Amino acid sequence: MTGRILVGVDGSGAARLALAWALEEAALRRSALEAVIVWESPDDLPRDFYYPVDEKKLAERASARLAEAVAAVPARGPVALETLVLEGDPAETLCRHAVGADLLVVGSRGRGTFAGLLLGSVSSKCA
């Protein structure tokens, strides 16, 4: 392996396209590929009321979405693929984890909330 590519996956169609492209690019470059899903706790978001959150279930759902996406996109060559489930703000977490990577790949549109649209997408924040 000669490099490292990081791809953000959120279960959306655009993220699956990004994953397919990243798999192909990793095979061409003979690079390791890290497929990362980032989940965000509702406790980290501004709320006017409190409600209990099962963060373990949120992490499990994120892990299942990542596994489904990886299973749905076959590799086009030998690629060392690692999957990671991380918690935090998606853009900040991906950018922080991408330090030292040769390439960060994200889809053009994902599963963001309406508030996320007002703040800008993960791709624009990472750019």
27 contacts 74 by C-beta, under 8 angstroms: no
State the pLDDT confidence band at 119, using cuts at 50, 70 and 90.
very low
What integer pLDDT is reported at residue 120 of this predicted model?
43
Q: What is the DSSP string of 33-97?
A: EEEEEEE--GGGS--SS-----HHHHHHHHHHHHHHHHHHS--SS---EEEEEEES-HHHHHHHH
- Return the pLDDT at 113: 54
The pLDDT tens digits for 36-94 are 999 988 765 556 666 677 889 999 999 999 999 999 988 777 889 999 999 999 999 99
Instruction: Kindly report the backbone phi and psi dihedral angles of residue 11, in degrees, each rounded to the nearest multiple of 5, phi listed first.
Output: 95, -10
Residue 7 has pLDDT above 60, yes or no: yes
Q: Provide the β-strand partners of residue 85.
A: 37
Residues in Cβ contact with 21 at an 8 Å cutoff, skipping those fewer than 6 apart: 105
The model carries a pTM of: 0.81
Q: How far apart are CA 119 and CA 38, in angstroms?
A: 17
